[in-house]
Structure formats: structure tokens, C-alpha cells
Amino acid sequence: MAVQCKPIPALYTVYILRSTVRHASLYIGSTPHPPRRLSQHNGLVRGGAARTSRNSLRPWEMVGLVSGFPSMMAALKFEWALTNPHISVHIPSESRLAVSTRTKTNGRPRRPSKSLSSIMSNLHLLLRVPSFSRWPLKLHFFNADVFAAWQKGCQTATEQLRSSLVVFTDFEPEAPPNPGRRGPASEGNDAQDEGAEPQPWGINALPLGYEPITRYITKGQEISEFERQGNCVVCREELPPGEGLHAVCANTGCNGVGHLSCWSRHLLGAGEADNILPLQGRCPKCKEEVHWGVMMTELTLRVRGKKEVEKLLKRKRRRAAKHAA
Amino acid sequence: MAAVASSAGMAHNDSLIIISSSPEFPSICDLLPKGPTRSAQRSGTCSNAALISEIAPKAVTPAASVWKSSHRVDKARNGGLRTLSPIAAEPVEPPVIPTVDLLHEFPTESGSRGLRAENEKPRPKPTRTRKTAQATSRNATDDPAMDALPVDVPLPRKPGRKARSGKDGAVTQTTLPKGKVTKPASKEATVKKKAELVSKHFTIRDSTPGPASNPISARIEDAPMGLEPAMVRRLDWTPPRETAPAHQNVASSTAQEHPPSAAAEAAQGRGTVFGDLHNAYGRREYISLHTSNASISANPDILGKRKLVEMIATARANEQTPEVSPMKPKAPKKKPRTITELATAAYRQPNETDLPTVTEGPKQDSLRGYLETADGQTTAGAKNSRTRATAPKRLTKPKPPKKKKEVARKPILLSPTSAMREVAKQDFVFGTASQLATEDDPVLLRALHEAMQISNQADSDPFASPTPLNSDLAIRKRPGAGLWAAGARYVDGDLLDMAALDLTNSSPLLQDYVLPSNGRSREAAAVHRSPSQRVCIDIQSDDTFDLTELPPMADPKSPSPPARPHLGQGLPQFDDSDPFGDSDDWLPISTMAPGFEPPPSNQEQHQLLQSQASSPFQAPPNAPPRPSFELYTDARLVKEVTSYGFKAVKKRTAMIALLDQCWMGQNKIALGAKTTHASMSTATKQATSPARPRGRPRKNSTTSASDATEVPRAGKRGAGKSVPAAETGTEAPQAVKRLRGRPRKDAIAPPKKAPTAKMPAPPNRALSPAKTKAPASPKRGQSPPKSAALLPATPKRRKAAAKPVVEIADSDSDDPFTSSPVSSPDRQDMFSSPEQMDLSVTEDHETSLIASPTNQQMALFGYITQAVIGAPPSKDPLDPSWHEKMLMYDPIILEDLAAWLNSGQLDRAGYDKEVSPGDVKKWCESKSVCCLWRVNLNGKERKRF
């Protein structure tokens, strides 16, 4: 296509901003860099939204966010849908929660007032809507109250989220330093993210770059560089180097490489044959769980993000050199 | 030489300064412009030295003379002012000699004066030489150059005069040249005191032109000023004289003045002998003097002589410095203006841009200048006489303001018919005329617009006309008729057909014909300019003949065709678009027509004039062919004619004839139930002419009643005046043309026509055309009723007349306009395009979004999924397949994916229908595939994902 796609960003989030002064004041935004964006909202840096510019409502805090958006466009879509749940076309009419009772001067339905509970319920709805349900999203909560509201919303929801959706909680460390973890399946690579450093918490603890998957990226780079693809782990056919898109198993120590379509077919399995996007599955070679989002991140980085890879690997090498010294 | 001389002069000055102990002259530069004016006495020495320095190189005056002069100056200071001048004269003499030489060498440079001086040289030279000889006797140094020149008899007289004038000279009897010089010295002496005051004025002037020019100008001025009459005049004209002497003090006081003065003296001595020469010179050089100063007659000889001599001297001086020469030519150029013909002056001036001052005037004059030149000549002449007497610069300066004033006057002058005629006589571009007319005169602007429209129409008309003519006449009546007959008919056909033609011919045929015809017509117009009158006359004659000749009731076709051609020819000729030789045939008729004033060259101007002053031209009322039009006033007739698109015809008979024919054409249309044609034509016509629509709508509304009356009249007229034939001819061709022409209109028009024609009784016609018009063009919808109104006008002549006339004009005008193909097709296109546009665009963005997929959609989704997954993976990592894109979470452009799916991928999957982007979007959303429209909400194509 004319438009060249970028590699999947390391982090792109849709966040819920709440005024620490007035908890009823809520704002939904998207950013690849939550700390920077928060400082903008708080007026520490230029670029804050007008709706968050009132000093009486500052400072703001990010009480929760959704991460893992595979692209800026995806994040914007999700943001808009969460901001306008009453008219978003991604929400089937039968399951729409937000109903506008008023109309704007231009005749369009007026956005219903937001509350934390409505946001949580709509967030829950959107996460299970077909348009976004198969995106590699992760949920983060940094405030106990908000997390409680989320839980409450989950209880009232008519449908359950997909089991693979991971919800992280990283509350302010003072009371309980231990970050609670929710979510049925959080293993493998996610463990690294969770392992989070104790000191920074919340948005500050979020990895903004590709560092968490550096080893994975390095492996993929080596495989492609030294043409060690071997045969497709799924179809067993030879993988000609430089031809086509070859996904690499994300698990350390596993050199399983296969056609992209083969991987997807394998991960989707028979039950989800009519789906396009796999969520996760087990590597046919190492039998360990792999997450499609992570694999695609590595693949797009390897194919499209030469610059990012070099930048990332240079750092690593320097560090390694230092450590060696 | 000059440089050396100047250097020498500098040294002299310094030495002189030291001797004279005059602190005022620090440098030559300062001295030249300012020094002379301040103090004639003191400066006299220094300035003389400076002048000597300039002149010296040629004369190579020895330093000793300078010293002598300086000593004399000192003596003069002690003795008296008068002595100074003679002292100065000594150095001056040598420079004069070189100047003469220079004149011989460079006759052309000096300009008219220089030339004259050259011509005169032989005679004046001897005078000078005599003087010089005298001077030589006393001053050996100065003579050598002078000696070369022949010596003339008049010497004795000169000294006598010198003695007169130069009582001063008498004081310095020792040196005759001093006596010669004394006259200027006397001038100086008298002037000097005043000179200081005057000098300031001159100083300003001098300062501006520059040091070199100043002396020259001063010299020139001195020459006219310093002469004998100055004595009397000086009393009267103190300030100008003062100015001159001041200059003399500056530049000429030392060297130049004296030689000219000496020459003048010699001339005076010879004055009787050389009176003719003086007169000739005076005339040539100083026209202003002759014109302005009549009183000088007695003295002028002396003055003229002196002036002439001085002028020669100045010319010499000028020759020394190239700058002087340009100054002189300015004056002569101005003179020719005054004398020469206005037109030539106007043309010459722009060409002659050499002198800035002079050019300014002519530039302004060139465009607007006819009137100005006439007026300005007198004023300029008077001014010139004055200014020339004073200084050339003054002459130039006063002129431009006068010119400006004149410019302001010009528009006023232009407005009257006489001015317009004059303008018409000369070749102007339209733009120039428009510029002249520009701001203030709304009438002119209107006239311009009308003329432009008419011209355009005219061009278009001939083009359009041929097609209808051929189609109508040739096809029906005389397929094999000769070109002449066809052309003549076609002309008629144009008028008559125009309504019909507009409808039918709007389409391709007209355009095709028009393009070639335009070129022809233009060329023809260029070739045949004179015929404008012819055309008008022809029309009149034709009209008259037709009307008279045609049997009222019967004779439909046979009489009508000839009449038609005549009309048609006449009309196009007005337009200047007759490519064919028709005009020649008609020429005799045209000659018959009496009263036209044919501006030969400028037809456009003609049109303008006619439009502006059409009423006056139209004066002669001729036999009224038809009652309705006869009663109309000339202005109304003109309006009607113009409304039809024809140029204003001067003769009323011609006007009426044209209107009748136009009316005939309309009637025919009406009879043939071809109101639609009229409506079509009117619509197009209206589009072309903005002003017309206003009147028409009103008329339409008002004329409805009249229309009913009109119908019977139309019948009457047709019976009476061969109208039926024309109608029949026009009708059939119209139908054919309609088919050819605008597809839409044709489709619309024919049904309308049929009903209208069938339905109506004549009164209904008006209504029907109005209806038909409305669809064609909203603006013009009104016009058709007007045509109807025209018909009825006859019975209720006056009431109907005003309205019908206008209407007729509109309808007629409509025809020519319609004939002009450009407007109508464009508009048609414009209208057509938007409709198509509307149909094309249909995409539902949001409708597809929410609705849960139906069963059909689910089936479709399955096919789409199969198609996407089943597609082979790409070999190029950077150009993944759709499936791979989706797997990598790439945003999918729905249009592209839909196009890809519709390009055979779905067929492979077993789905033989095509998929809309909306369906694709639903599928993508059901699969959590990030999808986008190609265009963002702002209507711009996305540049990033």
C-alpha cells in the first residue's frame, strides 16, 4: 500500500484520567507515553487537553488504562468508542449501555455524562465487542477505587470478558507494596512485565519501549540474520530466507519459526477457523504459550523497524559491554 | 583635453582664490552650482576661472590670461562693476572659438540650435572673428582660433553697438573684446544686485541638474535673457532677467557670455543684413517667442539676433559638455508638438522617450492626448514662450502639470460625440478606450459592455447563422442553392431561426460551424472594415425591400428567402463577421444608405459611439414598414435592435426593418408552435447578456395579456409580410436542429413544443414558451414571453410597443446569443455534471456499522474469510498479503480490500457477487481487524496509520 505501516508500537494506551480533586471529573485519552501525557494534563508540560486545563481540577491522575494497542489508529478507535459509547458503531445496538437522552444543537445525540461506573461498564463492553475483542489488549488499574468499580462493573456485565484478557493492578505502594494480579492467564512474557520494579508504580512502571522483549527481538534478529529459520514449525516446509513473513516463537530458547499464516492457523486451531486473528496459543515446537501480540510486535519490528531494532540492540550491547567490564 | 583643462582650471581657481582672497570659493564644485549666484563680483573672477578651465582646454587659454583677468577683476572691483565683465570677456573669447570648432565637428549633437548655429556659423563666425580680431589686436593670445575664421564686414557696426551698450566697454576701451563683453557685463552689473535674490531660485534649479548642466542651462538662459531687449524688459521682467544674469555670473560670466555677446553684437551690427537669418533662427529656435511675444516685433530682430548669436554660443558651450545637447533638443521637440499635427505628436512622443521631462508629457498625451494636444498646444505654447525665455527647464516643468490638468479634462472631452469621432478616426485598442472611459462614466462602461457583447454576438452570430441557414433554407427550399443564396438566407435564417436555432443548434453543429466561421469572420472583418456603414445601409435597404416587396398574405417562401438573406447579411456585417462576399453584393445598397458616418478603422469604437450616442445618430425616421415598430421612439428601436444582438443601426428604417424581421421570425416560430425554440434561444441569449434578463421577466409577467392579442397579429403579419414562409422554413429546420443540438433540451423541448404548438391558440404560446424557457435557463425563462409580447405589440402599439419592443429585442437578441454557441453548451454541461455527480456518490459509512450481521452477511463473511485466508502469502515481507496484514494488526483500507475481493478473490471463494466496502467493514469489525476508510473525516487521504 501507499501508506507504509510502522511496527507495532511498544506501548500505546487508552487511559482513564481522573481529577484527584474532584473524582467525578473524568477524561479519556490515548497516548504512547502515559507519564508524559499525564504531566501535560497537569500543566507541567505543554500540550494538555483543554478539558483538563482547569487548575481547580488539577492534578490529574491516571486511574487506569488499556495497553497493548497494535497501532495508533487502533488506540484512537478504542478511545473514541470509549468516549462516545452512545454512538460508537462498534457497539451492537442491542448491547449498548450508554443512551443519550438529549440531542445537541446540531441534532446529533448528546454525549451522556460520564461516571466512573459508566466508563467501567463501557470499557468492559468494548473489551468484549467483536471490533476489539481480539486485540492484544491488557488492562491496568492504578487505583483501588477504580479497580473496585471495575470489578463491580464486571459483575453487572451480561457477558464475561475473554479469559485471556489480562488485568493488572498496580496500586500506590504505600499500603500494600505488592501489586495484585488479576487475570487467569498471565504467564510467559507477561511475567516479565509484571515483575515490575518496586519503586516506580502505576504508569511510571509501564515499560515504554521494547525492552521487555529485547531478548526476543534479539533472537528473531539473529535467526533472520543467520538464516537459521529452518523449516516451518507448522507446515514443515522450508522457509526461504528473505521471502515472506516468518514468525518466531516468543519463548526463550525456542527457535521455532514458521509462516505467519501457518502460525495463525495453528494458534487459532479448529475451533476458531473462522477467525482471522489468533490471541494466544502454544508453540508447536516448545509447547509453551505464546501471545500473538508479542509475536507480531517482534515480527513487525524485524520487518519494518530496522531503526528501532538497531537502537534497542545498541543499548543492549553497551550495557553488556559495561557489565562485561 | 577637458580633464586637463579642468585640472588647470582648478589650479587657476586656487591661485585666483588666493589672489582675490575670496574665502567663499573652496572648490570648483561648490562654485559651479552655487558660487555664481552668491556674488557676481567676487565670483566673477573665480567663476570665470572655472569657466575658463572648462573652456580652456579647447582654447588652451594661457594661464597669463587668467592672471590678467584676475588682475582686471581686482581692478574692476576697485573701479566698478562694469569693468568686471570686460575682464571676464577676455578669457571667454578663447572658449568661444573652440565652441565654434566643436559645432563644426559635432553639428548633430548640439541639436536644432547647434545645427542652426552651424548653418549660421559662416556669417556669425566672421563677426566673432572680427571681434576676436579686435580682441586679438589687444590680446594676442585669444586670436589664433578666431583668426582661422573668416572676417566679415560688420565689424565696424559691432563696436558701435558695443559702444552703445557698452558704455561699460567704453570704460575699458583698451580692449575691444572687453567692450563686447561689456554688454553681458552690463547685464551682470544691472542684474548682479538682483541676481543674488534671483540666484537663489536658480541655485535650486542648478543644484538639481548638476554642476555641469547648470552652467549650460545658465548659458542657454543667458542667451535669450541677456540680449538688448533685456534693458526694457529687465525693468518689466526683473525676476526672470535676474535669473539669467545669475547664471551668467556663475558660468558664462567669464568666458562664454562674452563671446556670445560679441557674436550678438556682430549680429546686431549686421542685423539689417542678417535679419532674415535672425527671423529664421528665431522661428526655429523660439517658436514661443514668436507666438507669445507679439510686441517684440520691432526689437525682436535685435533680440533675436542677439539671442540667436547667444544661442549659438550656448550651443557651443553645450557642445563642450554633452549634457548641454540634451537640454536643447528638448525645446525643439516641444516645438514640433505645438506645430506638428496632433496625431503625429501623439505617436512621436511615446517613441521619443529620450528626455524624461519631455516624455512625461507625451506619455500622458499619447493615449489621451488628442484633445490635450489641441488644448495643450496653446497653453504649452504660451508657457513655452515664457519658459523658454527664462529657461528650458522651466518649460519642461510647467508642461507636465498642464498635461495632468489636461488629462482631467480629457474624459470630459471624450464624452461628446465629436470627441468620440476623433478617437474613432485614430486607431485605438479597445483597452485604451476603456481606460479612458474607466472610472467615472457609467455610461461609457455600459456602452463598453454592450459593445463587447455585441461584438461577441456578432462574431458568434455569423458563425451560428450559417448552420441554421444551410439547414433551414438549403434543406427545405433550395438544397442546391448557391452559396450566395444560402448565405443570404442563412442570414435571414439566423434572425428568424435564432430562436429555433438556439434550441436545435446549441449542440455540436453550431460549435463546429462557429469555430471555422469565427476565424473567417474575423479575417473578413479585418479585411472589410469600411462596410460598417454598408451593413447598416444594407439592412435598411433590405428591410425596406423585403417589407415592401413581400406580399402581405401569401407568398410564403419565395419572397421571404431573399429578404432573409439580406437581413442576415446585414446583421452579421454589423457584427463585422461577414466572411463571404455578400457585403460586396450589397454594397450598392449600402451606398444608397445616406447618413452613416463610417469610422473606418475602429468598428469597436464605432459600436461604443453608437451605443453611447445611438439616439442622436438614429435621427432620420424613414418609411415605417410595420406599424408597431414605426411608433417606437428611436431609443426604443435602438434598444430592441441591441437586444437582438445587432449593432445599433443609425437609420430608423433599418432599425424597423430589422425588428420586423425579428418579429417575423418569432411569429413564424409561434405559428409553427415552436415557442420552445424561442424559449431555448432566449434562455441562451439571456445567459450571454446579463442586463437583459432584468427587463424580460417583468415583460413576461406583464405581457401575458398582450400575448393573447399577439397571436392574431402574428397571423396577420405572417399573411401580410411573407412571415409564413419564413416560419415554415424556420420551423422545419428548427426541429431538425433541435435534434442535433442540446440533448437534454431537445428531449425536453420537443415534447413541450408539440403541446405548446398544438395546444395553443396563439395566446397560449406566450405561456408555453415561458414554461419551456424556465427549464432551459431560469434567468431567461422570462424572455420567451417577451417574444410573445412582441407579436401582440402591433395592435396596441404604444402599450405593447414598449413592452413588446423590449421583448422582441430580447427574443431577437436571444437568437444571436443562442447562435453564440459557447455560452449555451457550457451551461448545459454545467447543469448536467452536477446531476451525474449526485448519482454517483453513494456510500454508507455508518449504516453498516452497528447493525449486527445478518445471515446473508454471515455467509458473505465466510466467503470473505476464505478469500482472505486462502490467498497465497506474499513473498515480499514489505508487501504482505491481506491476510498477513490482518495478522500483523495493520489497519486495513476498506476500499482497497473490497476492490481486491471484487477482483476475483471472492469468485474463487465461491461468491459470485461483489462486495461493498461497507460489507467489508462489517466483516473486519467482526474479526477485530482494524479497518479504515481511505479518506479521513476531513476528506483527506490518510498519510499514516
Cell of A65: 488504562
CA dist B842 and B293 (Å) reads 90
Q: How far is CA B39 from CA B5, B81, B493, in A?
A: 24, 12, 89
Residue B846 to residue A89, Cβ atoms within 8 A: yes
pLDDT band of B424, cuts 50, 70, 90: confident
pLDDT band of B792, cuts 50, 70, 90: very low
CA dist A170 and B9 (Å) reads 103
Q: If you search the block for the grid coordinates 488479576, which residue do you land on?
A: A182
The three-state secondary structure class of B639 is helix
How far does B913 lie from chain A, in Å, by closest CA? Answer: 20
Residue B927 to residue A276, Cβ atoms within 8 A: yes
Q: What is the pLDDT of residue B110?
A: 39
CA dist B730 and B711 (Å) reads 18
CA dist B54 and B4 (Å) reads 9
Q: What is the pLDDT of residue A286?
A: 92
CA dist A120 and A201 (Å) reads 22
**B929 contact residues in A (CB cutoff 8 A):** 276-277
Question: Which of A301, A303, A278 has its CA nearest to residue A291?
Answer: A278
Nearest to A71 among B851, B874, B889 (CB): B889
Query: Which range, B251-260, B434-443, B448-457, B869-878, is most confident?
Result: B869-878
**A126 contact residues in B (CB cutoff 8 A):** none
B896 vs B492 pLDDT, higher one: B896
pTM value? 0.40
CA dist B679 and A121 (Å) reads 68
Q: What is the longest distance spanned by two Cα atoms in chain B?
A: 137
Nearest to A135 among B885, B890, B928 (CB): B928
Residue B879 pLDDT exceeds 60:
yes
- B97-101, B185-189, B842-846: which has the minimum mean pLDDT? B842-846
Beta bridge partners of B81: none
Chain A residue with minimal CA distance to B858?
A274
Nearest to B862 among A77, A260, A274 (CB): A274
Q: What is the pLDDT of residue B15?
A: 40
How crowded is residue B424: how many other Cβ atoms within 10 Å of its Cβ?
A: 23
Domains (range + CATH), chain A = 13-99+107-209 (no CATH), 213-324 (3.30.40.10)
The three-state secondary structure class of A138 is strand
Strand order in the sheet with A138-141: A26-31, A13-19, A60-67, A138-141, A166-169, A181-182
CA B286, B289, B291, B297 dihedral sign is negative
pLDDT tens-digit map of B354-380: 444 444 444 444 444 444 444 444 444
Chain A residue with minimal CA distance to B893?
A1
Burial class (CB in 10 A: 0-12, 13-18, 19+), B545: middle
Cell of B637: 428601436
pLDDT tens-digit map of B292-305: 444 444 444 555 55
pLDDT tens-digit map of B222-253: 445 555 556 665 555 555 555 444 444 444 44
Residues in chain A: 325
Residue A182 pLDDT exceeds 60:
no
Q: What Rg, from alpha-carbon coordinates, does chain A have?
A: 21
A124 has a chain B CB within 8 A of its CB: no
Burial class (CB in 10 A: 0-12, 13-18, 19+), B92: buried
CA dist B550 and B678 (Å) reads 24
Question: Which of B628, B551, B923 has its CA nearest to residue B795?
Answer: B628
Q: What is the pLDDT of residue B873?
A: 86
Residues 6+ apart with CB under 8 A from B756: B673, B675, B676, B764, B765, B768, B769, B771, B772
A:166-205 residues touching chain B, CB 8 A cutoff: none
CA dist B568 and B642 (Å) reads 15
Question: Which of B240, B241, B215, B222 has its CA nearest to residue B31?
Answer: B215
Q: How far is CA B142 from CA B171, B173, B484, in A?
A: 21, 17, 88
Residue A133 to residue B928, Cβ atoms within 8 A: yes
B123 vs B823 pLDDT, higher one: B123
Q: How far is CA B897 from CA B158, B406, B691, B868, B923, in A?
A: 113, 76, 55, 9, 11
Helical residues (DSSP H) of B322-355, grouped into ranges: 324-339, 342-351
**B896 contact residues in A (CB cutoff 8 A):** 1
Chain A residue with minimal CA distance to B890?
A5
Q: Where are the domains of chain B?
A: 2-326, 340-414, 446-827, 847-932
Residue A6 to residue B945, Cβ atoms within 8 A: yes
Q: Are residues B846 and A89 in contact, defined by beta-carbon separation less than 8 angstroms? A: yes
**A84 contact residues in B (CB cutoff 8 A):** none
Question: Which of B914, B916, B936 has its CA nearest to residue B924?
Answer: B916
Cell of B899: 476492490
Question: Which of B816, B28, B891 has its CA nearest to residue B462?
Answer: B816
Question: Which of B516, B566, B568, B502 has its CA nearest to residue B820?
Answer: B502
What is the Cβ-side half-sphere exposure of residue B649, based on CA atoms within 13 angstroms?
A: 38
Residue B904, phi-psi category: left (phi > 0), alpha (psi -120 to 50), beta (remainder) = left
Q: What is the DSSP letter of B648?
A: P
Angle between helices B442-464 and B483-505 (to 10 degrees): 110
Q: What is the pLDDT of residue A199?
A: 74
How far does B860 lie from chain A, in Å, by closest CA? Answer: 12
Q: If you search the block for the grid coordinates 414598449, which residue do you land on?
A: B802
Secondary-structure percent of chain B, ordered helix, strand, coil, rounded to 5: 80, 0, 20
How far does B934 lie from chain A, in Å, by closest CA? Answer: 10
How far does A226 lie from chain B, in Å, by closest CA? Answer: 17
Which of B884, B889, B900 to mutate against chain A (most A CBs within 10 Å)? B889
B528 vs B484 pLDDT, higher one: B484
CA dist B388 and B383 (Å) reads 8
Cell of B325: 545637447
Residue B877 to residue A245, Cβ atoms within 8 A: yes
**B853 contact residues in A (CB cutoff 8 A):** none
pLDDT band of B28, cuts 50, 70, 90: low
Q: Are residues B379 and B365 in contact, defined by beta-carbon separation less than 8 angstroms? A: no
Residues 6+ apart with CB under 8 A from B526: none
Query: Which range, A9-13, B537-541, B628-632, is most confident?
Result: A9-13
Residue B493 pLDDT exceeds 50:
yes
pLDDT tens-digit map of A73-109: 999 999 999 999 999 989 988 888 888 888 888 888 8
The three-state secondary structure class of A190 is helix
Query: Which range, A68-72, B217-221, B307-311, B822-826, is most confident?
Result: A68-72
Tell me what the pLDDT averaged over chain A comes to: 85
Alpha-carbon torsion, ordered A164, A170, A176, A181, to 10 deg: 10
Which of B860, B864, B874, B890 to mutate against chain A (most A CBs within 10 Å)? B890
Q: Angle CA(B280)–CA(B281)–CA(B285) in degrees, nearest 5?
A: 125
How far does A2 lie from chain B, in Å, by closest CA? Answer: 8
pLDDT band of A174, cuts 50, 70, 90: low
A86 has a chain B CB within 8 A of its CB: no
**A135 contact residues in B (CB cutoff 8 A):** 889, 928, 930
Cell of B279: 527671423
Q: Angle CA(B257)–CA(B261)–CA(B262) in degrees, nearest 5?
A: 120
Residue B428 pLDDT exceeds 60:
no
Beta bridge partners of B284: none
Q: What is the pLDDT of residue B241?
A: 54
Q: What is the pLDDT of residue A118?
A: 92
pLDDT tens-digit map of A239-282: 888 888 899 999 988 888 999 989 998 998 888 778 889 998 99
Q: What is the longest distance spanned by two Cα atoms in chain A?
A: 69
pLDDT tens-digit map of B269-287: 444 555 565 666 655 544 4
Tell me what the pLDDT averaged over chain B comes to: 51
Phi and psi torsions of B257, nearest 5°: -55, -45
Residue B343 pLDDT exceeds 80:
no
pLDDT tens-digit map of B794-830: 444 444 444 444 344 333 333 434 333 333 333 333 3
pLDDT band of B914, cuts 50, 70, 90: confident
> Which helix (DSSP H) or strand (DSSP E) does residue A167 occupy?
strand A166-169
In percent, the amount of chain B with pLDDT more than 70 equals 16
Q: What is the pLDDT of residue A36?
A: 94
B176 vs A142 pLDDT, higher one: A142
> Which helix (DSSP H) or strand (DSSP E) does residue A26 occupy?
strand A26-31
CA dist B810 and B782 (Å) reads 10
Q: If you search the block for the grid coordinates 458563425, which residue do you land on?
A: B463
Residue type (1 letter), B322:
P
CA dist B535 and B592 (Å) reads 11
CA dist B663 and B492 (Å) reads 12
CA dist B114 and B121 (Å) reads 10
- Mark out chain B residues that contact chain A at CB-CB < 8 A: 846, 848-852, 861-862, 865, 868-869, 873-878, 880, 883-891, 893, 896, 925-930, 932, 942-945
Helices (H) and strands (E) in chain A, counts: 9, 10
CA A140, A145, A151, A152 dihedral sign is negative
pLDDT band of A35, cuts 50, 70, 90: very high
Chain A residue with minimal CA distance to B845?
A89
CA B74, B79, B84, B87 dihedral sign is negative
Chain B residue with minimal CA distance to A74?
B930
- pLDDT mean over B632-658: 78
Residue type (1 letter), B215:
P
Residue A17 pLDDT exceeds 70:
yes
pLDDT band of B670, cuts 50, 70, 90: low
Q: What is the pLDDT of residue B244?
A: 46
CA dist B230 and B165 (Å) reads 11
How far does B840 lie from chain A, in Å, by closest CA? Answer: 25
pLDDT tens-digit map of B1-14: 443 344 444 444 44
Residue B836, phi-psi category: left (phi > 0), alpha (psi -120 to 50), beta (remainder) = alpha
The three-state secondary structure class of A63 is strand
> Which helix (DSSP H) or strand (DSSP E) does residue A214 occupy?
helix A214-225
